[in-house]
Amino acid sequence: MAELVDAQVSEACGRKLVEVRFFSSAPFLKYAQAIKKKFIFWIVRNNSEHFHFPFSDLGRVGVWIVFRRRTSTFFYIFAFFLPSGWFNCFGIFSLLSEQIQKSITINIVSYKMKPQKFLDYFQNRQQNILSLIREIVEIESPSRDFAGSSEVVNFLETETQKISADFQTERIVAENLGEHLIIRAFPSDAKPILLLGHTDTVHPRNSKEKNLTRIEENKFYGCGVFDMKANCVLILEVLRAFTELSLKPNKPITILLSCDEEIGSPTGRALVEREAERAEFCLVCEPSANGRVKTGRKGTANYTLRTRGIPAHAGLEPEKGASAILEISRQIEKLHSFNHFKIGTTVNVCLINGGTASNVIPETAECSVDVRFTSITEAKRIESEIKNLKSFDERVSLSVLGEINRPPLERTENIIKLYEKARKIARTFDYELGETQVGGASDGNFAGALGVPVLDGLGIAGNGAHTLEEYILIDDIPIRAALITSLLMAD
């Protein structure tokens, strides 16, 4: 086996340069003999032993061999100048040494290609991508719909195996909720890159009749298309690019698509944290914010406040009653006082119900409380305030259920570095990638809380998340795909 020190494509003298390095001379010389048979002449220069051949199939390709000493080890190096056009490492190696590769295994360590080439590739595949997006959007998979979840996972698993039978898929059942899907690709000893997404949507069954899956000019409409069915397809398209172009990412790839993200990840959280702890960094393919990635997200907490009073006839003896609704209305005012907008803390009551009949002093009432925060310290402060609420009417008892759900994704130095890398890549194809911090949370919050660098909001641009006007922008599909692929290839 010929194990390589390195194999990559770079730029030299305005042309692409493929460089292949071997540890030992024996496989190198066999490789050289295989190449010699395929070319017309061989020129040897004394000091560095350079060889040049006309390559009839591809135009003129320069080939030379260089011996370098590093400590006591010689590195034997092939370097190929490629003419203009589309090439990939495995294709070149196959053409040059079809016979010798039967006995020598070449391990590609890295292969660098300009992001513009990836953009061209995804633009050429755009119609195929749109067809797959249409298929997955037509599969309704609301949270807690086990049948819908299984159907969408069937689709994704089948498409994954079409791309490569070597990719490993794992389905994890979440009882009464659905199925999580994990895909592992390009295994090695290096720490993997984690890609996160989810397959559940907020839309109930038959919602697609109200927001028909359709294309209108540059907008692709459909239930869950923006958040985030189209981005599930986008992730698979990145894998397809690697296989069709015979490329290998810089590190192994782990993809986790959960089935319960929209309801707080009650079963998905443990999987996210497990995979994040193993990862070098995490890319979250949730929707972008008007094209911008998300370098910070607020954390979330959800509580239910319940009141229990004393029922009484509203007409005959109301004074004997203690109203649960009156008490909870006073508590809502108290909860609203906890808002601190300057530091990003919000406390909102979003649902309320109570009472039994229109002529009875209400015995029970309850409300839901949504809390958002930018730091875990603030989250704990608000939680303490809520759990220590006191009754205004001592005859009415209070109970509080709930807890902090997602920690905040804080904009750390490592997150900024990851964003700057993505921004630099985007500029190579004339795309200015902005950043923002948002109030909504995602599974990326769990990864960030473990100290793992996270770049969120890498999904396709669009609008209308969680509404019946949800859409993506079609011309953003190849841009996002090229950006994610290039990030996976980057050092």
Burial of 255 (0-12, 13-18, 19+ CB in 10 A): buried
The residues, any chain, with a CB within 8 Å of residue 220's CB and separated by 6 or more, are 130, 133, 214, 230, 462, 471, 472, 473, 474
Q: Using DSSP, state whether 329 is helix, strand or coil.
A: helix
Average pLDDT for residues 84-101, to the nearest whole number? Answer: 37
According to the model, what pLDDT value does residue 31 have?
Answer: 53
Q: What is the mean pLDDT of the chain?
A: 83
Q: Which CATH architecture has domain 299-404?
A: 2-Layer Sandwich (3.30)
Asked if 328 and 363 touch (Cβ cutoff 8 Å), the reply is: no
Per-residue pLDDT, 416: 97
Lowest-pLDDT range, 12-21, 190-199, 249-258, 265-274?
A: 12-21
Residue 32's pLDDT band, with cuts at 50, 70 and 90, is low
Q: pLDDT tens across 114-147, in order?
A: 788 899 999 999 999 999 999 999 999 999 999 9
User: Which residue, 192, 453, 174, 191, is CA-closest to 183?
Assistant: 192
Q: Give the model's pLDDT for residue 102.
A: 35
Range with the poorest average pLDDT among 24-38, 45-59, 212-226, 284-298: 45-59
Mean pLDDT value across residues 405-427: 95
pLDDT for the residue numbered 157? 98
- Structure tokens, 99: 């016979």
How does pLDDT run across 324-333, given as a tens digit for each residue? 999 999 999 9
Alpha helices per DSSP H over 2-73: 25-36
Rounded CA separation 210/273 (Å): 36
Predicted confidence (pLDDT) at residue 89 exceeds the cutoff of 80: no
Provide the pLDDT for residue 61.
33
**The pLDDT of residue 34 is above 70:** no
pLDDT at 111 over 50: no
**For residue 5, what are the contacts with CB-CB under 8 A and spacing of at least 6?**
21, 22, 23, 75, 109
Residues 6+ apart with CB under 8 A from 246: 88, 89, 90, 91
Higher pLDDT, 65 or 347: 347
431 to each of 29, 424, 479, how far by Cα in Å? 45, 9, 8
Residue 446 has pLDDT above 80, yes or no: yes
Instruction: Delimit the domains of the chain by residue range.
Output: 4-112, 118-298+408-489, 299-404
Q: Which amino acid is at 322?
A: A
Q: Looking at domain 118-298+408-489, which of 3.40.50.150, 3.90.1200.10, 3.40.630.10, 3.40.50.720 is its CATH number?
A: 3.40.630.10
305 pLDDT more than 50: yes
The model's pLDDT over 353-372, given as tens digits with 9 standing for 90+, comes to 999 999 999 999 999 999 99
**Residue (of 94, 25, 95, 93) closest to 58 by Cα position:** 95
Taking 70 as the threshold, does the pLDDT of residue 94 lie above it? no
Percent of the chain predicted with pLDDT > 90 = 74
Q: What is the pLDDT of residue 2?
A: 37
Residue 491 confidence class, pLDDT cut points 50, 70, 90: confident
| pTM of the predicted model as reported, rounded to 2 decimal places | 0.75
Burial of 280 (0-12, 13-18, 19+ CB in 10 A): middle
Q: What is the pLDDT of residue 62?
A: 35
Q: What SS3 state is found at 334? A: helix
